Amino acid sequence: MRHPRHAAAALLAAAWLVLPARGFAQHTDWLHVVEDGALVAGITDYETVTQTVGVRALHVRFPSGYLTNSPGWTGASSPPAGYSPLPGNTALSFNVVVPPTLGRNFSYWNGVGAVAFGPLPNGERLRFQQNSTFNPGDVNAIATGGSSQVPGFAIATTSPTGFLHHHIHYRLLGNGVDLATNGVYLVSVEATMPGLADSLPMYVVYNQGGTDAAGNLALEWVNANLVSTPVPVLPGAARVGLALALLLGLALALLPLNATPEFRR
């Protein structure tokens, strides 16, 4: 039987798809909580001061300089109902993972026409680093577009109550001669912590010099093709109605495993 956290995450992601699309993240960070011995991902939105468990895709625009510290990484001492905080005094780490349908750890789309993530056009790379400046020997991880997972590093250590809010940095690198090509890039990561199962993959659509429309279209594609089963885009009230139906399904998915057979099979 499918693990409850996987079913709940898929239903919430599906509900996210049929609601109006979000723009790029101004200050929206990854959120991590615990359920049934596993890390569960979501987001902390500092503009609306909300936490949403189950959202696993973000659209981030690179500012000038090809360097950003978004998204950050958070853990809540008082997480949403039904979840537990991260263990105290424990390091949260990450790995760069390979989406099975893409076969590479860093992908590119030029932002024109239908979304089609493919190989990097000119040897671009994405470097994960702790600080805004980088010196040889500093801890880092680099997604090169290869077919292998890339080991990450410890992001930060939680407080005794499980609280965490830390920003590492992400630099889009060219090939050593040319600057990175403008367009839309995609990378996927998982969170890890000792004693807990790894999180499901999380996806960041990085927009370098492209339009917000292209970035949002790529985000919709990621949600439909990588995060969850595709959901048809419906207009107006039908869209809201389907979202409510999916949220009802989410509530049923979260019922205890010993619920009556009419609700849990």
Q: Supply the DSSP string of 117-173, one letter for each residue.
A: -BS-SS--EEEEESSSS--TTS-EEEE-S-SS-EEEEEEEE--TTS-EEE--EEEEE
pLDDT of 218 above 60: yes
pLDDT of 90 above 70: yes
pLDDT digits (tens, 9 = 90+) for 227-259: 974 333 333 333 334 344 444 444 444 444 343
Closest among 113, 102, 128 to 186, alpha carbons compared:
102
pLDDT digits (tens, 9 = 90+) for 161-174: 999 999 999 999 99
- Percent of the chain at pLDDT above 90? 72
pTM of the model: 0.78
Q: Average pLDDT, stretch 213-234?
A: 79
Evaluate whether 225 touches 101 at the Cβ level (below 8 Å): yes
pLDDT of residue 7: 47
- Tokens encoding 152: 């990450």
Closest among 202, 183, 203, 184 to 192, alpha carbons compared:
202
> What number of other Cβ atoms are within 10 A of residue 70's Cβ?
20
Q: Supply the DSSP string of the chain, one letter for each residue.
A: ---HHHHHHHHHHHHHHHSPPP---SSEEEEEEEETTEEEEEEEETTTTEEEET--EEEEE--TTSEE--S-EEE-SSPSTT-BPPPTT-EEEEEEE--TTT-SSEEEE-SSSS---BS-SS--EEEEESSSS--TTS-EEEE-S-SS-EEEEEEEE--TTS-EEE--EEEEE--SSSPPPSEEEEEEEEEE-TTSBPPPPEEEEEEES--HHHHHHHHHHHIIIIISS------HHHHHHHHHHHHHHHHHHTS-TTS-TTT--
Q: Average pLDDT, stretch 97-105?
A: 96
Which residue carries 């860093």 as its tokens? Answer: 106
From residue 148, alpha-carbon distances to 15, 98, 101, 144 in Å are 31, 7, 13, 9
What angle, 0 to 180 degrees and rounded to 10, lies between the N-to-C axes of helices 236-253 and 4-18?
170
| Cis status, amide bond into 232, omega within 30 of 0 | no
pLDDT of residue 233: 35
Strands 57-61 and 50-53: unpaired
> What number of other Cβ atoms are within 10 A of residue 139's Cβ?
13
pLDDT digits (tens, 9 = 90+) for 112-157: 999 999 999 999 999 999 999 999 999 999 999 999 999 999 999 9
Q: Average pLDDT, stretch 178-195?
A: 97
Closest among 222, 227, 218, 213 to 184, alpha carbons compared:
218
